[in-house]
Structure 1
Amino acid sequence: MAYATHHNLELMSFDIKTAFIHAGLSTEIYTKQILGHPLTNSSSVLRLLRALYGLWQSIYEFYMLLWKVLVSLGLTHCKVDHGVFFGRWTSRPHANISMPADGTDLILIIPVHVDDGLAATNSIPLYTWFFTKL
């Protein structure tokens, strides 16, 4: 926030609803049947196909999905803090986005904590484009 204030960047926050459900599971995880909805064989277990809130693996799976999406949009993760992504564009990533009037590059910094994020940018159209793609 201090960096954003010092460089006169706009700040926006976002929450990714049902974030974990968007992420598949790369490992096999099984669970007991839900009470009240047993299969014909009550000793059967169910294999989860999607990450769910409460699973330790879910946070990792969602992060890997988010990482792939953010990198595909031109952002890089910070080597010191893997929860921070940043992008700098010397040309417009989309026709609807204009370059800053002062001649500087387009900047987007995204710190993420689980499924909540903060965006610091010098271009509201860049943030809108990012959020639409996200």
Structure 2
Amino acid sequence: MAIAAKHNLELKQYDVTNAFVHASLDREVYMRMPKGYQKPGTILRIKKALYGLRISPLLWQKDLTATLTQLGFQIVPHEPCCMIKDGIIIFYYVDDIILAYGKDQSKKAQEAMDQLKQRYSITGGDDLQWFLGIEVIRDRSKQLIHLSQVAYYEKINRLVDDQTIRHDTPMATSELMPREGLATPSEINRYQRKIGSLLYAAVNTRPDIAFATSRLARFLANPSQEHQQAADRVLLYLSDTKWLTLRLGGGTAMQVASDASFADNTLDRKSSQGY
């Protein structure tokens, strides 16, 4: 998307209907007949990658990649789900496909999508506005794209136990200590839900909570009340700063910053890597 922002590319979104079943199974898999179709002594051999099979997502990815390769697209190095042909870019996540191209390539891009529709049942074609629950906000006059997860923050805010833990930073400077004693299964489940929700935000649009989330993830197996409150603090920090977005585009000059802490873990004196 950063490339699309910098070069002011068109971004169109498509969805593949029943994506997995377009791929054929590469092994023998059998199933019992569903209710209403039972025939004593008979089982069914599955020929397509049905939803629910663990191998189905991989088979679909291989099938789509093979189809795009036949159409002349090439895989971008180190990005197996991003392919390019004559400046036209296609990237996808499961059944969500994004088509990126310059205005002068509109005809070629449409031809490529028409060819893809001959193989799969595909809907969509509107301008990209949402992708994987992330809102895509474009400022084409400045060649910028903002990625926002406001709706997601409002959703995960329901996980907070104490709405009063509000601060201007996601984490305190004091060290979190392991719990003495054992957490209950419900405490563990609730804490893991909080950290999993934070990880999705940290990876996609909010690197400012990455360090705090990483530290909190150390206590997934046995969280204490202190850990629950620390997780609540990060969740509320996201809610209070929901207007922050990840901005893509702008200048091409790369700015790199790195910071690290030497032996900052008071428990084992291990250091934190900067990135």
TM-score when scaled to structure 1?
0.79
The letter for the 1-side match of 2:46 is: L
Partner of 1:75: 73
Name the CA distance, whole Å, in 1 between partners of 2:3 and 2:32.
48
Partner of 1:127: 109
- Which structure features the higher share of strand residues? 1
What is the aligned residue count? Answer: 114
Partner of 1:66: 64
Partner of 1:113: 93
Partner of 1:9: 9
Displacement of 1:73 in angstroms is 1.1
Displacement of 1:5 in angstroms is 1.4
Pair 1:32 & 2:44 matched: no
* 1:15-66 per-position Cα deviation (integer Å, ceiling 9, x unaligned): 111222211111111112212321132xx32110111122121111111111
Name the CA distance, whole Å, in 2 between partners of 1:10 and 1:121.
5
**2:3 match: secondary structure:** helix
Instruction: State the identity %.
Output: 32
**Structure with the greater relative contact order (CA < 8 A, sep ≥ 6): 1 or 2?**
1
Runs of 4+ in 1 over 2 A off after TM superposition: none
- Which structure features the higher share of helix residues? 2
Q: Which is higher, the Rg of structure 1 or of structure 2?
A: 2
For the aligned residues, what is the CA RMSD?
A: 1.3
Pair 1:18 & 2:18 matched: yes
- Stretches of structure 2 lacking an aligned partner (at least 5 in a row): 117-275
